[in-house]
Structure 1
């Protein structure tokens, strides 16, 4: 009857613990909206340039060599690589939590009980064998194998491991996103250097043209055909153009140093092509369809994996309200004399199971569950936001392709007209049929138009970089 009552008590306690654990708050998890338009501006071509390898996309061996150097030496990528190692270790740690823990223990002790104490008096009367009393002092020698195991009956530990695995994968996607950002930044600086080189070349050409104009007006002043005012105006414009060269040279130095920093080197010559020998080629870029962003862009996949981890965290936090089942077991040898250690009489073993349910500290568990639920909502909203940002990025860049192409065509025509006007103005001025102010104005307008045209070319190059990155390219 005693055992039956004991079993009944255990069953009743188990039911009470289970009922207590099942009183769990329930919060609905946010499901993100994954709907995206079917196409960009009614274009349904599924060809996506973002799926191209970045080496094939840029087709510039000097730029490719620069990017390869940066991928090997960049400090930010090295730091991210260590973050990935930390996440990988977390996965291994979580995996080990739902497996049995086993350990080997060995111990040695010595104890001396007082003769006039209860235990001392008992030890004095006991005999190990006939005529052989307990040793005094009493030694304690133990060696054995012991194990503990929390049985994952609610899949709490398993889900925690899956959450860690999702965060590990998210960290790898974060590195991929950083790679695409790095390649884009290097490409932008490289193209900027090409444009600055061309701008410096144009300024040098204008310095030569304006120097010749200064020589002519000085001759005409000597012939009393012009005043000193005309000479001063022409010389001032020449000095202004020369001054622009210093600003461009400084921009070149900063752009080169930026590329050296990204490449992780103190000194490295930045070799680049000339702008005239480079083909921008933005007309042949294909945007594909918006649904491809969910697969191509690393930041979208990272947000998706972080959302999956947050969903699992909520389930783990909810499982903390439920009873947990643990098993402890051990086997070994223990004796008061080393000579008896390996004898059968020294064998010990134990096995026990316990069920634990939270009772007093439920507020802390509720707080953890509330926090996990709030983080899940954050992750879902962040995922939606990332998809929306990716879509609008592509829309902006696709629009830039058309607008900058048209702008370049228009500005090129303007430059051609102004360059022709400079020649006409010079001829008219030499024939005394035009005022020197017209020559100065035409030269300044032609130079500004050339500089504007270079800025448009730079924007076209940046659009090529940004559209590729927006489509998810640059990391593969």
Structure 2
């Protein structure tokens, strides 16, 4: 008996390397080798081993208030907490699947007492029979064709995919908090600008009203001046509402109230963000967590094919137990009460109406689906980064032009005010200068917000940002969160 068990164990060991999982081949990258904007940095071989690595958010965001809010969100946001719990759940599922590779051992104790009536008793008298047992048993499925290992590998890849999904959620959360914060700051700047402009309009209206009262200004000029005042009041109410809504949206992302000791925010013109290097080669998108998650899902689907193939072959399981058996509880451990059982079992599928073939077809189709999703993830990432790089160049030109427009509008406003006060021009020119300046200043804040949020989106599209770092010739820079 011992020789038979040893022979089966040796056979299992020899066949343990058998796997029916297809050889994994990473699909070809379905995008260009460089961004449409071109390569801005030389290859690593030309820079003495310099490469790029994921940059932590603390290095990218300069604003101390924004850093503080991001940390609060990382500690309290419920979506990120859910993603972390999902990682723990898939880790537990992997451990469950891995445990199937090992024998299970259990200890059991059992006892029965039964009364047999006279009509069924062999002696014609009622009897009471007793039986007590205590055993230690084990069961083990020999994974000769790699079915269990395939399922284990699939569970492991699912776990890795969930971890990458958590990283993706974290990067998205950081970007969302940054965008919400920048929007809040921009709306506060617009609110302050509107309050200052309203004061200017009200002063101009008071001057026009005095002129109208003495018969210098017409009723039309007074009505036009009043229209500007009321329009500014409308904008003031709108921005007050937007600031309150921005604060509420930011609080939701934080999962906590805004800190009472919030650091003093930087001005939008104070470069609150670090500049990301442009012109990175497209293959570095393999570091993006959503692309890595898609590849792990692809590997899991590939492993499921191995499990589906193994289902066509016989499965062998071993069951054994040893212990004591006695009709009396007091005699369970007496000499001669020992018992053992060995029960090998082999199961060979013969007919199942095509279920196994359909299961294999389904596994192969799922792999093709994951290939398409992996390629789509790369294409989406490539477009997002290309859009971000294009936005960087055009926003720089747009912001500079908007600064020039504000400066020109300020000159126009000063000249129109001087000419109106000296009586050279009418009130209409002065009002037009006021409105032009207000509109240009509003547009500058809005454009600056769009520029900053586009940089945040580029940081997100690059999988957390990039920073120059020296690594070995064959080494890879490790991602950071």
TM-score where L is the length of structure 2: 0.85
Task: Report the number of matched residues.
Answer: 439
Match of 1:4 in 2: none
- Superposed displacement of residue 266, structure 1: 4.4
Give the alignment of 1:21-36 within 5 angstroms: 32-36=27-31
Q: What is the CA RMSD across the aligned residues, in angstroms?
A: 2.6
Deviations 1:235-285 (A, max 9, x none): 111111122011111111111111111111246456551425621567564
User: Paired residue for 1:11?
Assistant: none
Instruction: Indicate the residue corresponding to 2:11 in structure 1.
Output: none
Q: Which residue of 2 aligns with 1:275?
A: 267
Report the CA distance shift for 1:284/1:356 in structure 2 as closer, same or farther (over 3 A): closer
Q: Distance in 1 between matches of 2:269 and 2:408?
A: 24
Cα deviations by residue, 1:445-472 (Å, 9 ceiling, x for unpaired): 2211111111110011101201111111
Alpha-carbon distance change, 193 to 452 in structure 1, aligned in 2, over 3 angstroms: same
Which moves more between the two structures, 57-66 or 336-345? 336-345
**Structure 1 regions of 5+ residues with no counterpart?**
1-23, 126-133
Please name the residue that 2:464 is paired with. Answer: 473
Conserved? CA contact 1:36–1:291, under 8 Å: no
Matched residues in 2 for 1:150 and 1:283: separation? 57
Which residue is 1:345 aligned to?
336
| More helix as a share of residues | 1
Matches within 5 A, 1:87-126: 87-113=90-116, 120-121=121-122
Question: Contact 1:394–1:470 (CA<8 Å) still a contact in 2?
Answer: yes
CA contact (8 A) 2:40 2:278 kept: no
CA distance in 1, matches of 2:389, 2:93: 41
**Aligned mates of 2:40, 2:323 — CA distance in 1:** 72
Which segment is superposed worse, 237-246 or 207-216?
207-216
User: Out of 163, 175, 194, which is 1:172 matched to?
Assistant: 163
Counterpart CA distance in 2 for 1:266 and 1:27 is: 51
In the TM superposition, 1:74-473 aligns within 5 A as: 74-113=77-116, 120-121=121-122, 136-266=127-257, 268-269=259-260, 272-275=264-267, 278-280=270-272, 285-295=277-287, 297-473=288-464
Q: Which moved more, 1:395-404 or 1:444-453?
A: 444-453
**Which deviates the most, 192-201 or 53-62?**
192-201
Which secondary structure does the structure 1 equivalent of 2:144 belong to? coil
80-89 vs 38-47, which deviates more?
A: 38-47
Measured in 2, the distance between the counterparts of 1:283 and 1:223 equals 58
Aligned counterpart, 1:129: none
Structure 2: any 5+ residue segments left out of the alignment?
1-19, 44-49, 466-479
Shift of 1:106: 1.3
Structure number with bigger Rg: 1
- State the secondary structure of the residue aligned to 1:139: strand
CA contact (8 A) 1:145 1:332 kept: yes
